[in-house]
Structure 1
Amino acid sequence: MAVLTYAIGGLAALAGLGLLTTVYYYNRIVKLENRVDNAWAQIDVQLKKRADLVPNLVETVEGYMDHEREVMEKVSESREKLVNAQSPEEEAKAGNQMTEAMKSIFAVAEEYPDLKASENFKELQQELSSIEGKVAYARQHYNDAILEFNNSIETFPAVVFANLMGKTEKDQLQIDTADKELPDVSFGE
């Protein structure tokens, strides 16, 4: 009888341990996935703030650059794509396009001393620069959250629970090849 009591007690302890392990890994995976979602939301906030500044920048710049229509159209088009993006991938791609369009505006602005001296333009340029730094930081945080999530669901025993939950590895944000290239810098004519 005592052996049966110990056996039942041992089975109950194993079942309890199994239940606690399941709850622990389930909750850990859910928390890490929520952290990834939150990290993306932070990127989204910064991209939206940047997109909201674009109409002010365009309005400020248009008065100075009547013949730079193509640059202005690229900026407006990239903003439209960002605002209408339906997925993180589309939003990231549109955000990169907007970054390139903004670089074009600031490059063209170099040709207009009155525009560069405009207080409104300077403030918008400074605000956009600040937001770019925040976007870069948010992207880094997002990739860190992805790394932690992926490591968690790929290691044993969490991989068993992740498979049962249908969780798979998430992709990190990648930098476009064009953005990795060093710019040409020339101090000569």
Structure 2
Amino acid sequence: MKKSLTASVIVFIIILVSLFSIISSYNKLVTMDEQVTSSWKQVENLLQRRYDLIPNLVEVTKGYAKHEEEIFTQIAAARARIQDGGSREDLIGANNELSGALSRLLLVVENYPDLKANEQFIRLQDELAGTENRLAVSRQDYNRTVETYNKKIRRFPTSIIAKAFDFERHPYFEMDQNAKEAPKVKFN
């Protein structure tokens, strides 16, 4: 009788420890899953910031740069002609146009060193860089959180619990194929 009671107690303790282990693992997976969701929401928040901020800054900058619009148009047209290629003469002509437009722009900047548009362009550049840097850090944090979570649900014995409760892998934030080229800000 004593042996059977001891064996029952041992089995009960093993079941109790197993149950606590399962509950603990489940709760850890829930916490990690929420961390992944929270990290993704921060990425979305910064994507929204980019979406809201950049067009507004471009419009403000365009507004301040109205008096320079002709120069910007000439620079853009010359750059487009260079990009289109063509004969050697076409490229020389386009480069000469670009040089002339850039000279006029430099003259404007030299004549008006406190030009408001200059401040706006610097602000635009700083805001673009800041937003992109924040977004890069946020994507990195998200991917790190996803990595930790995905490893956890794939490791034994947690993988058994993850499968039993339908915890699935989260996708990494991967670079878009179009993102291999630097974005171009256009003022037209």
Question: TM-score when scaled to structure 1?
Answer: 0.65
Q: How does 1:106-117 map to 2 (within 5 A)?
A: 117=117
**Equivalent residue, structure 2, for 1:143:** 143
Asked whether the equivalents of residues 61 and 124 of structure 2 are also in contact (C-alpha less than 8 Å), the reply is no
Asked whether the equivalents of residues 61 and 117 of structure 2 are also in contact (C-alpha less than 8 Å), the reply is no
Give the Å deviation of 1:134: 0.7
**Equivalent residue, structure 2, for 1:157:** 157
Q: State the percentage of identical aligned residues.
A: 30
Structure 1 residues 22-44: Cα deviation after superposition (integer angstroms, max 9, x where no partner): 11110111111111111112212
- CA-based RMSD: 2.9
Asked whether the equivalents of residues 143 and 173 of structure 1 are also in contact (C-alpha less than 8 Å), the reply is yes
Asked whether the equivalents of residues 61 and 120 of structure 2 are also in contact (C-alpha less than 8 Å), the reply is no
Q: How does 1:39-188 map to 2 (within 5 A)?
A: 39-63=39-63, 64=66, 65=69, 117-180=117-180
Point out where structure 1 has 5 or more consecutive residues left out of the alignment: 72-109, 184-189
Asked whether the equivalents of residues 53 and 124 of structure 1 are also in contact (C-alpha less than 8 Å), the reply is no
Equivalent pairs, count: 143
Give the Å deviation of 1:7: 1.5
Asked whether the equivalents of residues 22 and 161 of structure 2 are also in contact (C-alpha less than 8 Å), the reply is yes
User: Counterpart of 2:132 in structure 1: which amino acid?
Assistant: E
SS in 2 for 1:118: helix
SS in 2 for 1:167: coil
Instruction: Write out the 4+ residue segments of structure 1 that deviate beyond 4 Å after TM superposition.
Output: 65-68, 110-117
Give the Å deviation of 1:171: 1.1
User: Counterpart of 2:130 in structure 1: which amino acid?
Assistant: S
Give the Å deviation of 1:161: 0.5
Point out where structure 2 has 5 or more consecutive residues left out of the alignment: 77-100, 110-114, 184-188
Asked whether the equivalents of residues 29 and 149 of structure 2 are also in contact (C-alpha less than 8 Å), the reply is yes
SS in 2 for 1:47: helix
Give the Å deviation of 1:15: 1.1
Give the Å deviation of 1:58: 2.9
Give the Å deviation of 1:179: 2.8
Q: Which has the larger radius of gyration?
A: 2
User: Counterpart of 1:15 in structure 2: which amino acid?
Assistant: I
Residues 117/58 of structure 1: CA separation in 2 closer, same or farther (3 Å cut): closer
Q: Are residue 21 (structure 1) and residue 10 (structure 2) matched?
A: no
Question: TM-score when scaled to structure 2?
Answer: 0.66
SS in 1 for 2:131: helix
Write the distance in 1 (CA, Å) between the matches of 2:127 and 2:55: 13
